[in-house]
Structure 1
């Protein structure tokens, strides 16, 4: 476990949590106007299930050096906080795992044995991509392992792979990445699915500046499906890889599942750009139990 690997994953997790926490404020009616004018809503900003699950992913990597699926399922179930906004099917799955159920059987119950195609696997995977930034193929393989614990459907797996590889590319490429080149490199690793088709569409829409117009074609997570979420997030990330604030505001402007879309984009972009200090101060600290996944103190260290 190298310090570079830890720092990359840590940066991604912090960016994910910040995007998640600020994005979640979109659902507070009094804050909607602030989002339209790019004004920050009142602090504190509380993160959701996106961050809680991403913390478990990073902790498993730190402890095992790989995605140990049994350990990941146990961690998800043990740390499951119902009030963090989990979807109904994930709430049920994690409760049954805590009661002794087999995640391999439970995860495949939806969609006639294929499992959920929701965006839950994609929303939490960016730190894994940062962890494996030196090996895109391994990032894709480990993303599939992490997704299958709760979302084994091919679409959900493809979404997780796409986000993990996108984060790995962002983290491992210090020079400026042209948006089209970035998406082309991601596509090399994404299997043939609706998610892949959506990313291909996103590639064609890179000249469009309006987030609403892009989301009208790509989706904005409103369906809480992988193929309705990941293509838009990669479009937004590709256009603002080196600017966290603009990446956030662009992503949130489309509405939809804002905490999740902003968590995904935040986790990608944070691997190559600083986070706004004032935003970090307003964000809920990460849970203390994930602090064991890295050493030392610094900005954003969990309290």
Structure 2
């Protein structure tokens, strides 16, 4: 494990959790006006299951320097907090793992044996891409391993792969422009509905309107990987060097705001580092748990 890997992953984790925490505030009706005015809602901001699961991902990377699936399943189950907003299927899955169930079987049994195609694997995976930023192909492979623990459906795996590759590219020395950025992600995303969405996002890379992008790509309202990941990648690609603008753009269109902002936050923070996160926002956000190893020095 290198210091750079650790620092990049922690930067991404902090950006993910901040996006998640801020995004989650806009499910509160009284906070919608703040969103329309691009004014942060009152503190404190609590993060959700998106960040909690990402913390487990980082804890496993710090310990194993890779995704150890058994360790990740155990971490997800051990740190599962019912009140963080997990869906019913995931609450049940993690409870059964905690009681000694085999994650490989339980994950594949979800939704009549199809496995979950939700956005849960994508929402937590950005630190994997940051960790393996020097090797996007390995980032894709490790992202797939991280997804399979809870989301066995190929579309959920593809969503995780796309986000991890995007994060690896963002953490690089000089990521390309939006269209080229998404073109590279497209080339490493497995075939299916998620990949088709990334292809559509690539075609919209020159379009400045978030409303047009959401109309074509979705905004996570249906919680599937394919209606969440493409829009998040579009927003990140257009604002790789501006965390605040990336988050406001992502949040402005509604939907699963915590999850889309978590994905975008994790990608962009891998580029700008913790120094690029607005200081007042960081002060408003709930601290990350010590068990995640989230106190390391920021990436320069």
TM-score range, shorter chain: over 0.9
Q: Cα RMSD (Å) of the superposition?
A: 1.3
Q: Give the CA deviation at 1:272.
A: 1.6
Question: Counterpart of 1:247?
Answer: 246
Question: Counterpart of 2:24?
Answer: 24
State the TM-score, normalized to the length of structure 2. Answer: 0.96
Per-residue CA deviations over 1:153-205 (Å, capped at 9, x if unaligned) read 00000000000000001001x22521001001111210101000001001111
User: 2 CA distance for matches of 1:107 and 1:85?
Assistant: 19
Question: Counterpart of 1:286?
Answer: 288
Contact 2:242–2:268, Cα closer than 8 Å, also in 1: yes
Unmatched 5+ stretches in structure 2: none
Question: Counterpart of 1:197?
Answer: 196
User: 2 CA distance for matches of 1:125 and 1:38?
Assistant: 27
Per-residue CA deviations over 1:231-278 (Å, capped at 9, x if unaligned) read 000000010010001000000011000000000000000112211111
Question: Counterpart of 1:157?
Answer: 157
Question: Counterpart of 2:57?
Answer: 57
Correspondence 1:100-139 to 2 at 5 A: 100-139=100-139
Aligned residues: 296
Say whether residues 1:78 and 2:78 are aligned partners.
yes
Give the 3-state SS of the residue equivalent to 1:270 in structure 2.
helix
State the TM-score, normalized to the length of structure 1. Answer: 0.95
Q: Give the CA deviation at 1:212.
A: 1.7
Per-residue CA deviations over 1:37-68 (Å, capped at 9, x if unaligned) read 10110000000000000000011011011111
Unmatched 5+ stretches in structure 1: none
